[in-house]
Amino acid sequence: MRDLFLCFAGVFLLAFSGCDRKVPEHKTVIPEVSAIKLAPAPYSPSGVLIAEAKAFDEVNLVARVEGFLKKRLFTEGAKVKKGELLYEIEPEIYMAKVKAAQAKLTKAQAARNNADTDYKRQRQLLSAKAVSERTYDRVEAAKLEADADVKAAEAELELAKQNLAYTQIRAPFDGVIGLSNYSEGNLVNPNSGTLATVVKTDPMRVEFAISENQLLDLAGNKGDRRDRLEFRFLTQDGKIYPFPGKISFWDNKINTTTGTFRVQAQFPNPDGKLTAGMFGRILMRTKTPRKGLLIPEEALMQDQAGEYVYIITPEGTVARRNVKITYREKGMAVISSGVKAGDIVIDSGLQHVRPGGKAKAKLHIFSGVAKDKQPEKKSK
């Protein structure tokens, strides 16, 4: 009994002494997050489209006269100069035709001279009434016939000379010639088809199709939109072609089936790096930068109500703002409504804050390029 009493007394003393201890207070930790202070900044809207390089000019060389192919004076696949002799079709028969036509013209001219002399004599006699009008009419008709024979002979000679010139096929412009479809010794004529093809490679055209929406976004709908855009060609390996392009063709209507607008840009090609049929991409960008409120895409979140961001109010409270995005580029978005210049937008550490809670901003400058880090989960 005495031991039981001592036990209860000890418990009572321990409980009484514990009442004097203070419970430690719980301190609220305010999370520090990365944020940017919105301010109007320049940006240049751009777009990337599939494109194909095409020869600026392309000519199929054909025979315009018949004959055996006497010479082929070029190396297949080589560059050729304008006026350079490429093929020669046997000229001998056409030289002979030129000589025959020249002789015929000489004969016709002699006959015309005689007819002119006779006509002048008969006209004098007619004025003196020494010859009948019938005789005069016959001489006048002979003169007109002789004049016509000279003109016909002159035309025949011109045609013979032209056919002789056609025996030499020359390059129509500076370019590159392809394979020859006929070898020396073959009989060719206007029905033989293409002998070879010459393409003009400097400059080159690059053709692409831009959608109606892209055209409006980048160039607007007023004035000459061609002056508002600049073009660069991206090769298949992603490298930027060193020379910028300029518009050489701007279609006059939008294709109602595809909703696209056909455009061709012209690029210098002095080194022949661009080849007809080459595929790549066109980078279009507005020449004059615009200004807007730029944020990194990682600051954006989305739910059923749409896209939104978290801002930190002047009181240090986190608040949600629904926003409208008018333009996106890799790592960057332009906001047109929902926030204003001077607002502080959280772009990192979003998982640590909630609307109504407190947050401390660690400000940094956003240059329009995404930061090199893994994006955080932004959907709720």
- Is the pLDDT confidence value at 26 over 70? no
* Percentage of the chain modeled with pLDDT above 70: 84
Q: What is the pLDDT of residue 177?
A: 92
Band of pLDDT at residue 373, cut at 50, 70 and 90? very low
At 198-214, the pLDDT tens digits run 998 888 899 988 887 77
DSSP H stretches of helix in the chain: 2-18, 92-127, 133-166, 212-219
- Is the pLDDT confidence value at 6 over 70? no
At 119-134, the pLDDT tens digits run 787 777 767 676 677 7
At 239-277, the pLDDT tens digits run 888 898 888 887 778 778 887 888 888 899 888 888 888
* Percentage of the chain modeled with pLDDT above 90: 27
Q: What is the pTM of this model?
A: 0.61
Which string of DSSP letters, residue by residue, matches 141-202?
HHHHHHHHHHHHHHHHHHHHHHHHHHTEEE-SSSEEE---SS-TT-EE-TTS-EEEEEEEEE
Q: What is the pLDDT of residue 4?
A: 46
- Is the pLDDT confidence value at 17 over 70? no
Contact, 62 vs 192, CB < 8 A? yes
Averaged confidence pLDDT in the chain = 82
Tallying the residues shown for the chain, one arrives at: 380
Q: Which residue has the tokens 């025959």?
A: 100
- Is the pLDDT confidence value at 312 over 80? yes
Q: How far apart are CA 170 and CA 50, in angstroms?
A: 36
- Is the pLDDT confidence value at 155 over 70? yes
Domains detected in the chain: 32-43+291-363 (2.40.420.20), 47-54+200-289 (2.40.30.170), 60-84+173-197 (no CATH), 92-166 (1.10.287.470)
Q: How far apart are CA 301 and CA 315, in angstroms?
A: 23
Q: What is the pLDDT of residue 88?
A: 95
At 212-249, the pLDDT tens digits run 777 766 665 555 556 677 888 988 888 888 898 888 88
- Is the pLDDT confidence value at 16 over 50? no
What integer is the mean pLDDT of 17-43? 72
Planar angle of CA 16, 20, 22, nearest 5 degrees: 140
What integer is the mean pLDDT of 314-332? 87
Question: Tokens for 200?
Answer: 């003009």
